[in-house]
Amino acid sequence: MTENRVEHLGEAEQIDILFDPEQYTAFPHVIRLDGDELLMAFRQAPVHAGGIRHTHMRSVITVMRSSDLGRTWDAVNATQLGAGGGQEFAPIYLGDGKVAGILAWHEVSPEHEGDRAGLPPHDGDEYPFRTPGDFWMWSSNYGLTWRPDRITLVGEGAMACGAPIDASDGALLVPVYGQVNGDGVISSLLYRSEDRGETWTGPVVIAGGGPSGDFCEPALMEIEPGRILAMHRIGRSREVFWWNESADGGRTWSAPEATGILSGACPRLLKLRDGRLVLSYGRRSKPHGIRAAISADGGRSWGQTEYVVRDAVNWDLGYTSSIELDDGTVFTATYMQRQGTTGIVGTFWRVP
């Protein structure tokens, strides 16, 4: 595979947002509320003596906010949701103070309690856990509190990752990944709500896994009314991104095609006000870093240049989230590792 030309962004401004040496901090999602207020949700869990684990009984989703469009963040007054197994929470702002989102969840127990908890053991350095599914949660007060009666099971056994989208036809679409037939093959899936999150239908298979690999961690973007673009990470390969699209609001999908863009971590999409698309991602092969590609044709092609948003010291990074600010600046949040601790960083940059 021939790799694209690589270009560093000359005017990017880098900030550190949160590093806690006692916590595994990762998977940020950023949304804009009203005015200059941003809300960020990310996973935190205690660092295990043997290193980082993706599962922990005290995994939580931390929610914190910025009142100055991401320049500073109020970590002291952060709130939490999904205690006991929260893995990732992708929010969306629906207006009038309503923040909703899809929560990826694990049931987790101590290692010596796996049998009594009814949870299977796992190879590698993980606690006994099970994935019961994804849950739709919402807050009516800008994400300040999260009541336990405002939660709905969306997809049993699936894992959420990408952000929901509010489609032009009024439907909410949630991308997830998981098994369809219990055969161990992972596919990118879609759940749909026609009543603003009260009930959900699906799954619709966006991209079905098979001999070429497992499709996972899908990201969605509505390019124009009814046309939905999907980007996928794929396992059991060099992990180039694949893409496909729907012309009917996500009900049916074209056959997936490879993009040739090498990553190793999940893709994320941003639609700029000028109509171009930004694909941001973590590159987990050398040289490591956060990169972006630009499409002027709605995601069918991504040009010959990959832009370095931020360099990194190792492969443990990615899961970006970006918003476009009023002056055209893009703010991208991501996680990366420094001296054995993962944390959240941000970059302010302009799309060439």
Burial class of 322 by CB neighbour count within 10 A (0 to 12, 13 to 18, 19+): buried
Pairing of strands 129-139, 151-156: antiparallel
Given a cut of 70, whether residue 50 has pLDDT beyond it is no
Strand, coil or helix: what is 211? coil
What does DSSP assign to residue 172? E
Across 201-227, average pLDDT: 92
Domain that holds residue 78: 5-349
Strand, coil or helix: what is 17? strand
Given a cut of 70, whether residue 236 has pLDDT beyond it is no
The Cα-based distances of 114 to 127, 156, 180, 302, 303 in angstroms read 8, 21, 26, 46, 49
Across 29-55, average pLDDT: 90
pLDDT value for 350: 96
Find out whether 176 and 240 touch, Cβ atoms under 8 Å: no
pLDDT value for 109: 93
Given a cut of 70, whether residue 112 has pLDDT beyond it is yes
Q: Name the band, by pLDDT with cuts 50, 70 and 90, for residue 209.
A: confident
Find all residues with CB under 8 Å of 103, minimum gap 6, and list them: 61, 81, 82, 86, 87, 88, 89, 134, 135, 136, 137, 151, 160
Given a cut of 90, whether residue 84 has pLDDT beyond it is no
What does DSSP assign to residue 100? E
Across 168-175, average pLDDT: 98
pLDDT value for 121: 86
Q: Of residues 325 and 11, which shows the higher confidence score?
A: 325
Euclidean distance between CA atoms 177 and 80, whole angstroms:
24
Euclidean distance between CA atoms 237 and 230, whole angstroms:
19
Find all residues with CB under 8 Å of 195, minimum gap 6, and list them: none
Note if the pTM is more than 0.85: yes
Across 232-248, average pLDDT: 86
Give the burial string for 196-217 (b: 16+ CB within 10 Å, else e): ebeebebbbebbbbeeebbbbb
Given a cut of 70, whether residue 227 has pLDDT beyond it is yes
Q: Report the 3 state secondary structure along 237-289.
A: CCCEEEEEEECCCCCCCCCCEEEEEECECCCEEEECCCCCEEEEEEECCCCCE
Given a cut of 90, whether residue 203 has pLDDT beyond it is yes
Given a cut of 90, whether residue 308 has pLDDT beyond it is yes
Q: Name the band, by pLDDT with cuts 50, 70 and 90, for residue 219.
A: very high
Mean pLDDT, the chain, whole residue set: 93
Find out whether 109 and 128 touch, Cβ atoms under 8 Å: yes
pLDDT value for 190: 98
pLDDT value for 238: 60
Please name every residue paired with 229 in a beta bridge, in sequence order, or none if there are none.
221, 245
Given a cut of 70, whether residue 237 has pLDDT beyond it is no
Tally the domains of the chain. 1
Given a cut of 60, whether residue 92 has pLDDT beyond it is yes
What CATH code is carried by the domain that includes residue 264?
2.120.10.10
pLDDT value for 2: 57
